[in-house]
Structure 1
Amino acid sequence: MTAMRPLRLLVVEGNPKAMRERHAAVSGQTPSAFYADILSGLAADETLEATVDVCFPADEGANLPDGSDLASYDGVAITGSGLNLWKAERESLVQVDFARAVYDAGVPFFGSCWGLQVAAAAAGGEVKLNPQGREIGIARAIHITDAGRGHPLHAGRTQVFDAPAIHSDEVAAVPPGAIVTATNDLCAVQAAEIRHGNGVFWGVQFHPEYTFAELGGILSRYTPIMLEEGFFRDGEEAAGYITDLVALDADPGRKDVAWRLGVAPSVLDPKIRRTELINWLTLQVLPTASARLRG
């Protein structure tokens, strides 16, 4: 039997430099570094080795893999971002172009939040500001669609679940042939499979990769916006919510905090919370890498 070589993964940073540095100043890491650590850890949990590279397509003059370089990866994942595709800024549009290159390379492709939006736009979909407003903190009552029942992206999920989330935009029009696999009342496309060119993308509008500490750090940056939009009455209430999130991260057994925040046991369990990422690694990335090794 041929020994499995280490998986080679690529994380695509969705933020330009200034945004990711602001994020790191509060959270301690850029989104891409955090995502890379999560992927490495999930691979290790499955007794796999993985090397994870990071690229920065939003940066001017970024040296990006293409063609055979992209095809040499076993999987590509796009992080969240503070950008908005409907603004059509250069930093956004270059990421759409890069996503098309990933599709062309035929590499297993995943994205959280912004990643789903970029992959949808690259395949001919449309992203707009959600008229229902921002979904932030915990996305509630996400349910698997009829088309999503039995889809491997959600293998192991209950029919209805909650998940960490933060977004104000949504995929308003799915690309041709896309399968919407999960939805909720606030956002019609909570998860989808998109086939385009040579590639297959699995993505979610929520953030399966987040820890509660990471979510708390992001909410601390978003506190002024959340106050303006009426999520909190004042800064003290916001600080209390964030303190609870961090406390829950340190001790998931804090029943009092979980009850106060309305966080279900399934959301507290990191393995369940990261279901879609684990399924992508084990059901998309690993089989494709094994087939390439045999070939």
Structure 2
Amino acid sequence: MRPLRLLVAEGNPPAMRERHAATSGQTPSVFYADVLGGLAEGLGLETRIDLCFPADEGANLPAGEDLAGYDGVAITGSGLNLWKAERESLAQVEFARAVFDSGLPFFGSCWGLQVAAVAAGGEVKLNPQGREIGVARSIRLTDAGRGHELHRGRLEVFDAPAIHSDEVATLPSEGATVTATNELCAVQAAEIRYGNGVFWGVQFHPEYTFTELGGILTRYTPIMMQEGFFRDTEEAAKYVADLVALDADPDRKDLAWRLGVAPSVLDPIVRRTELVNWLNLQVKPAASARGRA
């Protein structure tokens, strides 16, 4: 069996991803690729993963490559906002349409879900209920989601790492199925069928570790103080330190209790259920059907 070839599209332009790496140690696309590679290895799958940067001026696929050479495409999160209609955002919408046209298995976290929804005719807006950050609570599978392979193995109600201020406000008029929701965000997960392709996506971040989340919250601390999540920098630093410590020792019952982190969120495989299912139930069968696995 030849290695599965995956393409991870970075959702951020250069300045944003460099700022992210300064606090988290890696750009989102490098981190995402590492997570996918580890999950694939756990499934007994060998992978080759490339990165691309559709937000960059003049950026294309890796030299000598085209979408037809890949077995699946994933889009990371981003600090951009689609409702601002900036060039960096619109370029990614066009990239998503090209992925849909290719018919490749397609996945996205947070920004990735939003980009795919807009590419298929939906709309993204600033969430009037405010930012969902840290851990998204009480995400509930819809009737369609309970039987959907995207969430195979999930509890009917679960929590997940998250950070977003925008939401999919209007779904594409055809081919969109909401598979998970919660009180703060109506579209927590969805399948979108458009053109030749099928997209699975989530508004939360199944890929995140608590250390990665802590790095992001460190960067967002001034905004979170303005929005009332933290009273001061000391409180923020303590919260982040607890997240990182829990990542290092998931058996710390005191930290899990204080942070309100459920056992299912502590288990990295359970936390990444949707990514595992995409690799195992979308990418692998599609590659096999094309005689490339």
TM-score (norm: length of structure 2): 0.98
Residues 75-114 of structure 1 show CA distances to partners (whole Å, capped at 9, x for unaligned) of: 0000000000000000000000000000000000000000
Residues 238-265 of structure 1 show CA distances to partners (whole Å, capped at 9, x for unaligned) of: 0000000000111111110000000000
Residue 65 of structure 1 deviates from its aligned partner by: 6.4
Aligned to 1:116: 113
Counterparts in 2 of 1:198-217, with a 5 A limit? 198-217=196-215
Aligned to 2:59: 62
Residue 63 of structure 1 deviates from its aligned partner by: 2.1
Aligned to 1:257: 255
TM-score (norm: length of structure 1): 0.97
Amino acid at match of 1:146: D
Aligned to 2:171: 174
Residue 148 of structure 1 deviates from its aligned partner by: 1.2
Instruction: Give yes or no for contact 2:102–2:197 (8 Å, CA) kept in 1.
Output: yes
SS of the residue corresponding to residue 206 of structure 2 reads: coil
Instruction: Give yes or no for contact 1:111–1:203 (8 Å, CA) kept in 2.
Output: yes
For the pair 1:6 / 2:3, whether they are aligned, the reply is yes
SS of the residue corresponding to residue 147 of structure 1 reads: helix
Aligned to 2:82: 85
Counterparts in 2 of 1:1-295, with a 5 A limit? 4-64=1-61, 69-175=66-172, 176-293=174-291
Instruction: Give yes or no for contact 2:13–2:55 (8 Å, CA) kept in 1.
Output: yes
Superposed CA RMSD? 1.2
Cα distance between partner residues in 2 of 1:18 and 1:149: 40
Instruction: Give yes or no for contact 2:72–2:283 (8 Å, CA) kept in 1.
Output: yes
Cα distance between partner residues in 2 of 1:55 and 1:111: 14
Residues 47-85 of structure 1 show CA distances to partners (whole Å, capped at 9, x for unaligned) of: 11000000001111112369x810221000000000000
Instruction: Give structure 1 regions of 4+ aligned residues with deviation exceeding 3 angstroms.
Output: none
Cα distance between partner residues in 2 of 1:277 and 1:267: 14
Amino acid at match of 2:234: E
Cα distance between partner residues in 2 of 1:138 and 1:179: 23
Cα distance between partner residues in 1 of 2:193 and 2:292: 25
SS of the residue corresponding to residue 51 of structure 1 reads: strand
Cα distance between partner residues in 2 of 1:289 and 1:23: 33
Amino acid at match of 1:283: L
Amino acid at match of 1:221: R
Cα distance between partner residues in 2 of 1:226 and 1:294: 47
Residue 177 of structure 1 deviates from its aligned partner by: 2.2
Cα distance between partner residues in 1 of 2:144 and 2:211: 33
Cα distance between partner residues in 2 of 1:256 and 1:106: 47
Gaps in structure 2 of 5+ consecutive residues: none
Residue 294 of structure 1 deviates from its aligned partner by: 6.6
Cα distance between partner residues in 2 of 1:34 and 1:46: 19
Gaps in structure 1 of 5+ consecutive residues: none
Residues 220-252 of structure 1 show CA distances to partners (whole Å, capped at 9, x for unaligned) of: 000000000000111111000000000011111
Cα distance between partner residues in 2 of 1:263 and 1:223: 20
Q: % of aligned pairs identical?
A: 81
Instruction: Give yes or no for contact 2:50–2:62 (8 Å, CA) kept in 1.
Output: no
Residue 293 of structure 1 deviates from its aligned partner by: 1.4
